[in-house]
Structure 1
Amino acid sequence: MILVTGATGTVGREVVGRLAAGVGVRVRVMARDPARVAWAGAGVEAVAGDYGDPRSLAGAVRGVETAFLVTARVGGGCDAAFVAAARAAGVRRVVKLSAAAVTDGGAGDLITRWQRGSEELLRASGMEWTLLRPRAFMSNSLSWAASVRGEGVVRGLYGQAAHACVDPADVARVAVRVLTEDGHAGRAYTLTGPQALSAVGQTRELGRLLGVALRFEELSPEQARAAWAGRYPPAVAQALLDSAQRLKAGAKAGVQDTVSRLTGRPARTFGQWAAAHIASFGPVTAPSGATPDTGPRPPDTGPRPPDTGADPAP
C-alpha cells in the first residue's frame, strides 16, 4: 500500500494519477476532506487525515508500506507528527518532497531552516527515506496569468536572474519511480529543469506562444514585500525576499540531469510546459502599445522570481 499526502497539491495530484494508472499498485490518499480527492476514482482509497489529529494520522498510515510526504505549513510540526505516526504503524519507507535550497550553504531563511529540520527528522526516524529536492515549479508562473490576460504584463523580482525551475509533472514522474521500486533508500535527489531561464525569458516565451509582445515589469523588494504581505506572515515574506537575493546571486541557476537519469526521459523545458498550459494565459486583452509577435526574439540568458518549491497544503 502506498499512501500519498498532499494529493490536492501540484505534485501530489500528478503522483496519485500516475500511481492509479499503474498495474498492481494499491493507493491510499490522505486529505482533511476526502471529498476533495473524489477525482482520484474508485480504485484509490481516500481517508480523512489531519497532521494535527494523531488519531486520524494513525488510521491513515495503518497498513501502509510506503508513503509520499508533502507538508507546507512552515514550522507547523506536520512532519514530526507524520513521522511519529508512520514509525509507530510500521511504515517501511517515506519519500519526502523537500526543496533544493537545503543544499545551499548560504540559505538560512525560515523556510529553508524548516525544510532542513524536516529532513533531519526523517533521517533519524529509523525508516527508509528518500528526499526529492526540486527547484521552483514552472507552474508558479500561473500566478502571472491574470496580469498577462488583462494587461499583457508580467511582474516580478530580478527578472534577469537565471533559474533552473522544473515541471512539477517531472517531479511526479521521479516520485512515482522512487515510490514503486527499490534502490533509492538513503538518497537525496535535486530536481531541475534542463535549462536556466529568467523571468524575462519566460515572459518572452509566453509572448511567443500567445502571439503578443508581453512586457516584464521589475518589482522592487519593497513592492514584492507589500504584495506578499496579504498572503503570508512577515517571517515567510522575509524568507521569500532572502530567497530572491540568492536567485539574483546565481544560486538557483545550476542544471542537473537527475530527471532524465531516473525516468529515462528528458526533463521538459519551460517552453514545453507553457505550450501545454497556454490556455491559462490567454486570450490576451491587448494593452496600449502592445504589438503582435511577428518573428523570433533573441534568447534570454538569465530566469524568475523566488519560490520555495513547496506544494500547497493538502
Structure 2
Amino acid sequence: MRIALTGATGTVGGQVARLLAPRYDLSCLTRSPERAAARLPGPGLTVETDLDDISSLTRALAGADALLAVTFDPLRDTHDEHLLTAARRAGVRHVVKVSALAVADPGAQDAITRWQRACEERVRASGLSWTLLRPRAFMSNCLDWTRSVREEGVVRTLHGSSANSCVDPRDVAAAAARALTSPACAGRAYALTGPAPLSARQQAAQLAEVLGRPVRHEELTEAEALARWRARYPDALAAALLESADRQARGAKSAVDHGVREAIGREPGTFRAWARRHGAAFRTEEAEAVGNAVEKAAEKPPAVPVEAQTSA
C-alpha cells in the first residue's frame, strides 16, 4: 500500500510518517525536499511538489492509494481543491482530511472555521472515499510559552480561565495513521479531544508540577492578545483567532468527545503526560537542545495556522 502525506514535517504529519514508515510505502509531498528530509524518519521519502500546481501534484500522487490532506493557509482556499483534483486524476482511492472540531459548532463563524468547512465540503463532494479528523486545539500550542516559562515562569493568554478540551497531537497522528490504512474508518468524522477540559491557568499549574517550580498565569487584555496575533498573522486571521477565543470564553470548547477511543481503541492522552514528555523545552535552552529539539521541531506550528492547531 502506498500512502501520500502532505504536511509531513508539521505537527501531525511528521508523527504519521514515523508511525507508517516501517510498514508502508510513503511519499511525503513537499516544496523543500532537502529541508524536509532532516525531519523525516528515513531517506527517500520526499517528493517535490507544490500545492499551487495541479500537474506536479498529479505526478507526485501517481500510484498512491491513500492521501493525508493537511493544508495550512485559510487565505488560499485553492490548495484543497488542487489536492483533490490531482488525487482523482492520479487514481487515489481514499483521502483523510485533518479539519477542526469547530466546524461542528453552528456558532463558529470566524474566517478560519468557514475555510475549514469549505475544505470538508470539497472532500465530501470529491467522489473519493474519505475520513474527516476534527481535533480540538493541540496541546503542543503550549510550546509557544517555552521562552516566557523558562525566563520568567509566566504563561500569558487571553481568557485564561476558559476551558478547552485540547488534544495530544500524538493521538491525532495515531487516528490519521489508522484512517489511512483501515477501511473501517471510511465515511466517518472523528471528534478528537483530550480526556478533560483545561484552562490556560490549569495548564500552567500542571506545568509547574512537572517542572518542580512555580509557573503563574498572567491575563492578557483583548488588545494585547490581538496585537500579538497581528505580529504573527495577517489581520484577517488575527481577527478570526480573537473571535474564536471569545467563543471559548463562552464555553464552546469544553465538551469532551470520544473520537480518539473510537479511532484508535484507547483513551486520549492527558495534558500532564504531554507536559512530561516536553518538560525539557520549558526548563533551559540547553536542556531543550539536548533533550527535545527533534520532537519540538516536528511539532512546530505552521507559519499560517490550521484552525485546529491554534483555536479549535
TM-score if structure 1 supplies the norm length? Answer: 0.89
Q: Partner of 1:10: helix, strand, or coil? A: coil
CA distance in 2, matches of 1:87, 1:274: 41
CA distance in 2, matches of 1:213, 1:220: 23
Tell me which residue corresponds to 1:193.
194
Tell me which residue corresponds to 1:67.
67
Q: Partner of 2:183: helix, strand, or coil? A: coil
Tell me how large the CA RMSD over aligned residues is: 1.6
Residue 34 of structure 1 deviates from its aligned partner by 1.1
Tell me which residue corresponds to 1:295.
none
Q: Percent identity?
A: 49
Structure 2: gaps of 5 or more residues: 286-304
> Which amino acid counterpart does residue 259 of structure 1 have in structure 2?
V
* Rg larger in structure: 1
Q: Check if 1:27 corresponds to 2:26.
A: yes
> Which amino acid counterpart does residue 120 of structure 2 have in structure 1?
E
CA distance in 2, matches of 1:133, 1:140: 16
Tell me which residue corresponds to 2:92.
91
Tell me which residue corresponds to 1:244.
245
CA distance in 1, matches of 2:155, 2:241: 18
Q: Conserved in 1, the CA contact under 8 Å of 2:130 and 2:186?
A: yes
Q: Partner of 1:230: helix, strand, or coil? A: helix
Q: Partner of 1:158: helix, strand, or coil? A: coil
Residue 184 of structure 1 deviates from its aligned partner by 1.7
Q: Check if 1:235 corresponds to 2:233.
A: no
Q: Which runs of 4+ in 1 moved over 4 A?
A: 41-44
Structure 1: gaps of 5 or more residues: 285-305
CA distance in 2, matches of 1:308, 1:78: 15
Residue 167 of structure 1 deviates from its aligned partner by 0.3
Q: Partner of 1:216: helix, strand, or coil? A: strand
| Structure with a larger share of its residues in helix | 2
Residue 269 of structure 1 deviates from its aligned partner by 0.3
The C-alpha deviation readout for 1:238-284, integer Å capped at 9, x for no partner, is 00001001100111001112212321222110000000000000149
Tell me which residue corresponds to 1:58.
58
Q: Conserved in 1, the CA contact under 8 Å of 2:208 and 2:214?
A: yes
Residue 55 of structure 1 deviates from its aligned partner by 2.3
Tell me which residue corresponds to 1:37.
36
> Which amino acid counterpart does residue 54 of structure 1 have in structure 2?
I
Q: Conserved in 2, the CA contact under 8 Å of 1:164 and 1:194?
A: yes
CA distance in 2, matches of 1:95, 1:10: 16
Q: Check if 1:48 corresponds to 2:48.
A: yes
Q: Conserved in 1, the CA contact under 8 Å of 2:61 and 2:87?
A: yes
Give the 3 Å change call, closer, same or farther, for CA 274–308 of structure 1 in structure 2.
same
Q: Partner of 2:218: helix, strand, or coil? A: strand
Q: Conserved in 2, the CA contact under 8 Å of 1:67 and 1:93?
A: yes
CA distance in 1, matches of 2:280, 2:185: 37
Give the 3 Å change call, closer, same or farther, for CA 307–151 of structure 1 in structure 2.
farther
Q: Check if 1:255 corresponds to 2:256.
A: yes
Q: Conserved in 2, the CA contact under 8 Å of 1:240 and 1:307?
A: no
Residue 229 of structure 1 deviates from its aligned partner by 1.1
Tell me which residue corresponds to 2:131.
130
Residue 182 of structure 1 deviates from its aligned partner by 0.7
Q: How many residues align?
A: 288
Tell me which residue corresponds to 1:11.
12
TM-score if structure 2 supplies the norm length? Answer: 0.89
CA distance in 1, matches of 2:170, 2:140: 10
Q: Conserved in 1, the CA contact under 8 Å of 2:74 and 2:306?
A: no
CA distance in 1, matches of 2:284, 2:45: 39
Tell me which residue corresponds to 2:308.
309
Pick 1 or 2: higher relative contact order, CA cutoff 8 A, min separation 6: 1
Tell me which residue corresponds to 1:219.
220
Q: Partner of 1:2: helix, strand, or coil? A: strand
CA distance in 2, matches of 1:49, 1:119: 23
CA distance in 1, matches of 2:124, 2:75: 18
> Which amino acid counterpart does residue 270 of structure 1 have in structure 2?
F
